[in-house]
Chains A and B, each alone.
Chain A
C-alpha cells in the first residue's frame, strides 16, 4: 500500500500555485470578475496578479477580456475547460487533505 501523497504527482502545477489557486477559487464562485476585485480578494499586487493571470490565460484556464476605451476594465472568467480543471483539482486536493489527515505511517 502506498502513501496518500503519491496522488500529488498528478497535481496540476499551473493551478496549484497558492496565488493562482486563490485566483481560480474566486473565479469558480462567479461568472466573471474584474481585475480590481481579484486584486482585493486575493491581496496580490497589480504586477503579481497580471503575471499569474497571463500564465493562467496561456494555459487556457482563464479568458481575459479588456473592455472600455475611456475607462478600461479587465474582466476575467474561467474557460469551460478551466472550470472543469479547477473543479477536478479541488476534488483531488480535498481527497489528499482527507487522506493525509487520516494517514497513519506505521500502517503503511
Chain B
C-alpha cells in the first residue's frame, strides 16, 4: 500500500514534470541580459553584438538544460498550451494601451511600466502557484514607475523617462534575471542528482 509520504513524493514527481518547461529559468535570464544591454545608448546603436551574444547565450542554455536535466515534451492539453491563447489578447491590450496613451498624452515610461508589469505578471501565471515572485516583480515595477523618483535626480526628471540610459529597460532586465534564477533554483531543487550505479 502506498503511504502518505509516498503519495506526496509521487505528486512532487508529477508536478516537477508538468512544470519542467516553466522552470527552465536561464532562458529568461538570457532575455534579461539582452534587455540590460539594450538599455545603454551605445549598445542600442549597434544591435549586432548584443543579438549575437543573446544567440550564443540561448544556445548555451539550451545545451546545458538538455545535457543536465534532459528533455520533456509538455502535454498538448496542459496549461502551457492554453496560455498561447492569451498571446493575441495581450497583444491587443498593448495596442489599446499605446493608442490610449497617445490620445491622452501620457508619458511613455508610464505606458511602458504598465505593459512590462502586465507582461511580468502573466509570465508566471495566474494562479502563480509556486511562482509568486512574478506578481511581486510586477508590483515592484509599477511602484518604481509611479513613485515620484524625479525629486531624487538633479534634473527633476523621473529616471525611467531618461533618454540616455533606459533605466526602465535595465530594471525590467534585472527583474527578468532575478525571476529566471528563482525558476532555475526551483528546477534544481525539484530534480535530485542521478543515483550512482550500484557496485
Chain A residues with CB under 8 Å of chain B are: 5, 8, 18, 21-22, 25-48, 73, 93, 96-97, 100
Q: Is B127 an interface residue (CB 8 A)?
A: no
- Select one of A32, A43, A100 contacting B192, CB under 8 A: A43
Known: A28-B14, A40-B194. 18 other contacts (CB 8 A): A18-B2, A18-B6, A25-B11, A29-B14, A29-B15, A29-B18, A29-B75, A30-B17, A30-B18, A31-B75, A32-B72, A37-B72, A38-B70, A39-B194, A40-B69, A41-B13, A41-B190, A43-B194
29 chain-A/chain-B pairs, Cβ below 8 angstroms:
A18-B2, A21-B2, A25-B11, A27-B17, A30-B73, A30-B74, A31-B74, A34-B70, A34-B71, A34-B72, A36-B67, A37-B17, A39-B194, A39-B195, A40-B191, A40-B192, A40-B194, A41-B16, A43-B194, A43-B195, A44-B195, A45-B195, A45-B196, A46-B194, A47-B197, A93-B2, A97-B1, A97-B4, A97-B7
Most chain B CB neighbours (cut-off 10 Å) among A22, A30, A36, A97? A30
Chain B interface size, as a band, is 20 to 34
Chain B residues, CB < 8 A from A28:
14
On chain B, the residues within 8 Å of A30 by CB distance are 17-18, 20, 72-75
**Which secondary structure dominates chain B's binding surface?**
mixed
**Closest Cβ–Cβ distance, residue A47 to chain B (whole Å):** 6
A31–B75 Cα distance when bound, in Å, is 5
Shortest Cβ distance from residue B130 to the other chain A in the assembled complex, whole angstroms:
15
Q: What's the minimum C-beta distance from A90 to chain B, rounded to whole angstroms?
A: 9
Q: Report, nearest first, the 5 A-B pairs whose CB atoms are least far apart.
A: A37-B70, A36-B70, A29-B17, A29-B18, A40-B191
Across the interface, do B73 and A31 meet the contact criterion of CB distance under 8 Å?
yes
Assembly CA distance A73 to B67 (angstroms): 11
